[in-house]
Amino acid sequence: MKKKLSLLSVLLLLTGCWDQNVLNKTKLITAGGFDYTKDGKIITTASVPEANAMESGKDSIENQIYTATGTTVRQSRFKLDREVSERLDISKNQIIILGEDAAKEDIYQLLDVFYRDPKSALNAKIAVAKGKASDVISKKFEETKKAAGLGEYLRDSILSAEESSAVPRENIQTVCPVMFDPGQDFALPYLEALKRTIHIRGVALFRGQKMVGEIKEPLSVTYTMLTGKKHEIAMNTTKKIYKNKKPARLNYVTIKVKKNKRSFLVDVTPEGKISAKIKLKTKVTITEYPSDNLSTPTEVRNIEKQLSKKLTKDAQTVIDKLQAMNSDPFGVGRQVMAFHYPVWERLNWEEEYPKIDFTASVDVEVIGHGIIE
C-alpha cells in the first residue's frame, strides 16, 4: 500500500510542469493573413493583441502586427515565432484572411496547417481580402485604435454581415468538406480595407479550391437567399420597384425576409439534358416604403408583384454570374451525382455546368407592413 502510494505520488510529482502551456507566457494570434510574394513564397501576417491591465477594470488593447515569409505556412509561422518574445499560439484565432492573389491559387495549401493541429481554432472565420491580406490586417482602422482587438473587430464585422445575410456563414471547419466535393463549391466573405474602416464587398465565389469571382454586396443578399438559409436576424434588402416616381426615393421599398422556403429541383431528361430550378417562397415585411398607401390591398398586391419580378430578375442575374464563373455553390452537381449517377459518370461537370438550364423564381408575399396603418 505504502509502496503504491509513494509510486503514485512520484509519478505525479516527477512529471513536473514540463508540458505546461501557461497562458501568461504565450502570445495569442487573433487574426492571421496569407499572401504570396512574387517568387511564390508565403507571407504570413499576424495580429497579436497586447492587453494592458489598467485601473478601474478597463483594459486597453494594443494590436501588434508581425509578418514573416516562408516557403510553407508552417515555416513562416516558425519564423514569426522567432520575431516575438513569447510563444505564439493560434488556438484563439478569430479570422483567417486570404489575399486576393492567394485565394486565386489553391487555398487548401494554405489551410492545411489548421486541419492538422488539434489546437487550432476551427471555428475561426475565413474571408478573402481585395488586394493583399496585409492591407486588412493592419492598425489603421478606427475601431481597433480604441478597445477592440483587430481579430475581434474583423470577426464582428463579418458576423454582422452574416446576420444581415450579406455573406454566407462559413468557417475553417465548414469549408473543408465542400472544398473536396466535386459536386459543390463554396463562397466566402469578401472584404476590402477602406481608409479607416473595413468594408464588406460581397461574396467571393470559389471553384474547387480556387477563387473565381465575386458577387457584390446588394446582390449577395439574393445569393444567400437562394442558398435556402432560414431567415437570419435581419435579412434586409432595398429594392427599386418603380422607375419614374419623383423624388427618386419613392421608387424604393425595403423589405425584411421573415420566411424563406426554397424548393430546389434538378431534372435530367432521358437524353441527358440537365435543368435546375430554384423556387423561393418568401414572406416579407415591409420596413420602409416612402410612397405609403400600404393599407390598400391592391397596393400591397402590386408591391408583391413588383418585388417578385425584381427578385426573380436578381436571382437570375446571380445564377447567370455563377454559371459564367463556373462556380456551383448551390450544389447542382451534388444533386445530379446523388440522383442520376450514371449521367454524372458520363459528364465532365466543369464543362457541363455553364451550359445547363438553370433558372430561378421568387414568389414574394407581404405578411406585414410595420406598426402604423
Partner 1 sequence: MTFFKKPKKLITEAKVEHDIQKGLNNKSTVVQNLNLDELLTKVKEPFSATEDLVTQEVELPSDTSRIALLYIESIVDKQLVQSMILDPLFTTGKEITFESFKKMASIDLKQETDFNQVPKFLLQSNTLVFTEDTTCFYTVSTPVKTQRDITEPDNESIVRGAHDGFVENLSTNLALVRKKLRSSKLTIKYLLLGQESHMKLALLYVDQIANPELVKEVEKRVKSIEADAVYAPGNVEESIEDKPFSFFPQILNTERPDRVAANLMEGRVALLYDTSPTAHIMPVNFFTFYQSVDDYNKRWHISSFFRFIRIMGFFIALGLPAIYISIVSFHYEVIPFDLILLIKSSLEDIPYPPLVEALLMELTIEFIREASIRLPARIGSTIAIVGGLVIGDAVVKAGLVSNLMIIVVAVTAIAAYIVPSNEMSAAVRILRFPFMVAAATLGFLGIVFGFLLLLFHLCRLYTFGSPYFAPIAPLNVKDLKDTFLRAPFWKQDTRPQDLNTQKPDNRNHTRKWDKS
Q: Is-contact 185 336, C-beta < 8 A?
A: no
Residue from 52, 85, 244, 348 binding partner 1 (CB under 8 A) = 52
β 187-193/198-207 pair status = antiparallel
Q: Identify the DSSP state of 302.
A: H
Angle (nearest 5°) at CA 76 between 70 and 79: 110
Residues in the chain: 373
Interaction between residue 96 and partner 1 (CB under 8 A):
no
Q: Which stretch binds partner 1 (CB under 8 A): 52-60, 183-191, 256-264, 340-348?
A: 52-60
Interaction between residue 28 and partner 1 (CB under 8 A):
yes
Least gap, CB of 53 to partner 1 (angstroms): 4
Site string for partner 1, 132-171 (x = CB under 8 A): -----------------x--x-------------------
C-alpha cell at 334: 451534388
* Dihedral in degrees, nearest 10, Cα atoms 62, 67, 68, 72: 100
Interaction between residue 127 and partner 1 (CB under 8 A):
no
Q: Which stretch binds partner 1 (CB under 8 A): 50-58, 71-79, 239-247, 301-309?
A: 50-58
C-alpha cell at 348: 465532365
Nearer to partner 1 by Cβ, of 16 and 342: the residue is 16
Cβ-based neighbours of 183, under 8 Å, separated by 6 or more = 328, 331, 332, 333, 334, 335, 336, 337, 338, 344, 349
For residues 62 and 51, give the distance between their C-alpha atoms in angstroms, rounded to a whole number: 6
C-alpha cell at 104: 486565386
Site string for partner 1, 73-92 (x = CB under 8 A): ------------------xx
Nearer to partner 1 by Cβ, of 135 and 152: the residue is 152
Least gap, CB of 4 to partner 1 (angstroms): 12
Q: Which stretch binds partner 1 (CB under 8 A): 53-61, 134-142, 336-344, 351-359?
A: 53-61
For residues 336 and 356, give the distance between their C-alpha atoms in angstroms, rounded to a whole number: 12
Least gap, CB of 9 to partner 1 (angstroms): 9
Cβ-based neighbours of 133, under 8 Å, separated by 6 or more = 33, 34, 35, 45, 97, 98, 99, 102
Q: Is-contact 54 114, C-beta < 8 A?
A: no
Interaction between residue 61 and partner 1 (CB under 8 A):
yes
Nearer to partner 1 by Cβ, of 1 and 371: the residue is 1
Least gap, CB of 35 to partner 1 (angstroms): 25
Interaction between residue 32 and partner 1 (CB under 8 A):
no
Residue from 3, 12, 37, 298 binding partner 1 (CB under 8 A) = 12
Interaction between residue 7 and partner 1 (CB under 8 A):
no
Interaction between residue 173 and partner 1 (CB under 8 A):
no
Interaction between residue 51 and partner 1 (CB under 8 A):
yes
Number of residues binding to partner 1, judged by CB under 8 A: 27
Q: Is 39 exposed, middle or buried (0-12, 13-18, 19+ CB in 10 A)?
A: exposed
| Beta pairing partners, 288 | 254
Interaction between residue 59 and partner 1 (CB under 8 A):
yes
Write out the residues near partner 1 by the rule CB under 8 A.
Answer: 12-13, 15-17, 19-24, 26, 28, 30, 49, 51-53, 59, 61, 91-92, 94, 119, 121, 149, 152
